[in-house]
Amino acid sequence: MATEPVIPDPWQALRRFTDARIALGRTGVSQPTASQLAFQLAHAQARDAVHHPLDVARLADELEAGLGLAPGSCLRLHSAAASRQAYLQRPDLGRRLDGVSRAMLQSRDGAACDLALVLADGLSAQAIEQNALPFLKALWPRIALEGWRLAPLSIVEQGRVAVGDEVGALLGARIVLLLVGERPGLSSPDSMGLYFTWAPRVGLTDESRNCISNVRPAGLAYDAAALKLHALLAEAYRRGLTGVRLKDESMTESTAVAGGGPAFRL
Residue 18 covered by a domain: no
Max mean pLDDT among 2-11, 23-32, 149-158, 257-266 falls in: 149-158
Residue 217 covered by a domain: yes
Q: Which distant-in-sequence residues (6+ apart) come within 8 Å of 101 by Cβ?
A: 77, 78, 79, 156
**CATH number of the domain within which 191 lies:** 3.40.50.11240
Residue 15 covered by a domain: no
Structural domain count, the chain: 1
End-to-end CA distance of the chain, in Å? Answer: 61
pLDDT class of 251 with cuts at 50, 70, 90: low
Q: What is the pLDDT of residues 180-217, one digit of tens each?
A: 999 998 878 999 999 999 999 999 999 999 999 999 99
Q: What is the pLDDT of residues 137-151, one digit of tens each?
A: 999 999 999 999 999
Three-state SS string across 63-84, please? HHHHHCCCCCCCEEEEECCCCH
Residue 161 covered by a domain: yes
Residue 25 covered by a domain: no
Predicted TM-score of the model (pTM): 0.86
> Is residue 130 over pLDDT 90?
yes
Domain residues for the domain of 124 are: 54-259
Residue 118 covered by a domain: yes
Contact between 25 and 4 under an 8 Å Cβ cutoff? The reply is no
Query: Mean pLDDT across the chain, nearest whole number?
Result: 90
Q: What is the pLDDT of residues 32-70, one digit of tens each?
A: 888 888 888 888 888 888 889 999 999 999 999 999 999
Residue 234 covered by a domain: yes
Describe the crossing of helices 125-146 and 33-51 by its angle, rounded to 10 degrees: 60
Buried b / exposed e over 146-168, threshold 16 CB at 10 Å, is eebeebbbbbbbbbbbbbbbbbb
Residue 86 covered by a domain: yes
